[in-house]
Structure 1
Amino acid sequence: MLTRRLIMVATALLPAAAVAQPWAPSRPVRLVVPFPAGGATDVVARVLGEHMSGTLGQPVVVENRTGAGGNVGVENVVRSPADGHTLLMGTMGTLTINPHLYRGLAFDPARDLVGIGMAFETVHVLVVHPSVPAATVAELIALAKAEPARLAYGSAGSGSSTHMVAELFRLTAGIELTHVPYRGSAPALNDTVAGTVQLMLDQLPSCIGQVQARRLRALAVTGTARHPLLPEVPTMAEVGLPGAAATSWGAVMAPAGTPAPAIARLNAALNAALADGSVRARLVQAGADPISSSPEAVMERMRAETAVWGRVVREANITVN
């Protein structure tokens, strides 16, 4: 009895900080999107933020901070207090590609951010104009090797995901292609449909309509499995190019130093949103495949893909305009 009383007295005398308390936001949570409103990343952030607001008991307010390929928004989050009230909807480009493209960045995503959880991913589709005499990836590669650099591919601009994924394919296949950068994926896709450029590695949500209308021929998808919307189209691994597998993705991040209880609570709220049927349906409609994870898995994916895209940037000698 005496021992029990001593334990109770000792516990009562412990400072409040020593007794673990679940974290909860004390004011609205800011979710920074480093791209303009209306894009896929912005739509995903707003759908997830709406559900997370109910779970967290505070509004999750989406704030668009654009510029420098997404670097302005990322730096804004990096410089914010690490208290769980500021988050970033990071992307493959801002987290793993930009550090190799932009010299003199005042931050390092791997050092200055911490993962909350994955949010979505989209596969890319290797599409060619119907006039291209290639019905398979092998035939396309043979054509490119027979006439080096004659085939041209369009992208959303130097350093964009449609540029980087295409360069990864080119390097893996060991072929020469001519890169034609555009101001966005829409004009690049339009010129691919018109035959001005012969191919593109576009994100599936953008090009699926043109493929289904047979204005473009799909030769492969870059995901690890065939996509339900294009079940007859093989993966890069299936055509013998596993090194060309890649997806564009987004993850929710926070400033480094954010307390572990806040990270755990935010991860639970994010994963609850991603598990909700109506949320998943809205994301799929926006062209994003929902994907959830632990905070640790986000950082591991960042490390792995930072190495991959760093190699692509170096070997392809990619620079931003």
Structure 2
Amino acid sequence: MSPSSFITRRRVTTWLALGAAALPLSSLAASSADFPEKGRSIRIVLGLAAGGASDAQARFVANKLGEVLQTPVIVENRPGASFILATEEVIRAAPDGYTFMYAPSSVVAQNPQTLAQVRYDPFKDLTPISLGARGPLVLTVHTSVPARNVQELIAYIKANPGKMSYASFGTGTSSHIYGEAFARQAGLDVVHVPYKGGADAAKDFLAGRVQYYFDAAPNAIQNTATGKVRMLAVAAPKRSPMLPDVPTMTEQGVSGVDMASWLGFYGPARMPAPVVAKLNAALAQVLAMPATRDFFRQGAYEAESSTPQQLADLTRTTYDQWAETIRKLGLTKQ
């Protein structure tokens, strides 16, 4: 897809204003005055199976958000198709604030550039509400592989061409692209095995049916605690303060696998600005709570809110960064 098919930075800046202007003033007034209606449930859609790190974060936030807004907030899991099913569910929903998603950056920055079946435009079809968290992916390896650093893993894979496989959250997701970037940078002959989410991937990974995995930090920590997995490197520009003893990929001689990951809250297009503002304020309150910060830090993630405009800008910046990475790797849509 050519850059001209996407909105310009100027249009990104007016994203929310345009969405709000498309609705009648009476609707905006009613939405801002009545949202949320007492007792009416709010859905946070998640495109991953229950049990993974993102699911745990979403449920923790949902519980606290329900307390702040004084209405039920539930998490609805819609796994499959690399988050596409969940994203399309949100896009089809009424833009009234009662349905939004918690999504990794891959949904808006990578999927549209790597997956042929993606039919949504992340800039036109979604409303940014707030950033949710930042944290690295971690290169982990099953203990059946005799490698204790990245260079030893490269040497072992090269000694066993075509026999090693790596897991991912799904085709086109960050864990897949990091795995592909690693393989191409190091000249590795490996097999990619996509799953429907971190929980599904962990089952085969812990059983040794796949040998390594760029995993979300919370999952990596949990899997390492079983004694069946080692953490070799963080895929980020610098070491994580929560994982200070785990070096980066760049420190171990592999460049180009160093962009930090994040998750954000997005609703359907044309959400009324007053409703977005109310959700943004409530999420900011939840994400600033010491209990929330402590919970996220257990998985080496930092809970972090933002304004809707800041998330819009981050979406564009991350999209452009991945566009350059994907171009350099020579990846085509699958």
TM score, norm. by length of structure 1 = 0.75
Matched, 1:74 2:87: yes
List gaps (5 residues or longer) in structure 2. Answer: 1-24
AA of the residue aligned to 2:213: M
Report the counterpart of residue 289 of structure 2 in structure 1. Answer: 276
Secondary structure in 2 matching 1:111: coil
**Residues 44 and 164 from structure 1, CA distance in 2 versus in 1: closer, same or farther, beyond 3 angstroms?**
same
**Alignment-derived partner of residue 315 in structure 1:** 330
Find the counterpart in structure 2 of residue 176 from structure 1.
Answer: 188
Query: Quick one: structure 1 residues 300 and 145, their matched pair in 2 at CA, closer, same or farther if it must change by over 3 Å?
Result: farther
Could you tell me which amino acid in structure 1 is paired with residue 122 of structure 2?
P
Q: Distance in 2 between matches of 1:106 and 1:131?
A: 40
In the alignment, which residue of structure 2 is the partner of 1:98?
111
Q: Is the 8 A contact 2:235 2:249 kept in 1?
A: yes
Counterpart contact for 1:87–1:254, Cα < 8 Å = yes
Distance 1:62 1:152 in 2: 32
1:225 maps onto 2:238 in alignment: yes
Alignment map for 1:49-68 (pairs within 5 Å): 49-68=62-81
Give the direction of change, closer, same or farther, for the CA distance of 1:143–1:312 in structure 2 (3 Å limit).
Answer: farther
Unaligned runs of 5+ in 1: 1-15
Q: Percent identity?
A: 34
State the 1:198 CA deviation.
4.2
**8 Å Cα contact 2:249/2:255 also seen in 1:** yes
Using the alignment, how far apart are the partners of 1:72 and 1:195 within structure 2? Answer: 29
Which moved further from structure 2: 305-314 or 250-259?
Answer: 305-314
94-103 or 291-300, larger mean C-alpha shift: 94-103
Q: 2:219 aligns with which of 187, 198, 206?
A: 206
The residue identity in structure 2 corresponding to 1:257 is R
Where does residue 251 of structure 2 map in the other structure? Answer: 238
- Measured after TM superposition, the shift of residue 113 of structure 1 is 0.9
Name the structure 1 match of 2:180: 167
**Secondary structure in 1 aligned to 2:251?**
coil
Residue 47 (str. 1) matches residue 94 (str. 2): no
- C-alpha deviations, 1:57-89, integer Å up to 9, x for none? 443343344453322322232233333333222
Q: Distance in 1 between matches of 2:90 and 2:45?
A: 10
Name which of structure 1's ranges 79-88 and 126-135 shifts more when overlaid on structure 2: 126-135
What amino acid is the match of 1:204?
A
* TM-score, structure 2 normalization: 0.73
Partner of 2:44: 32
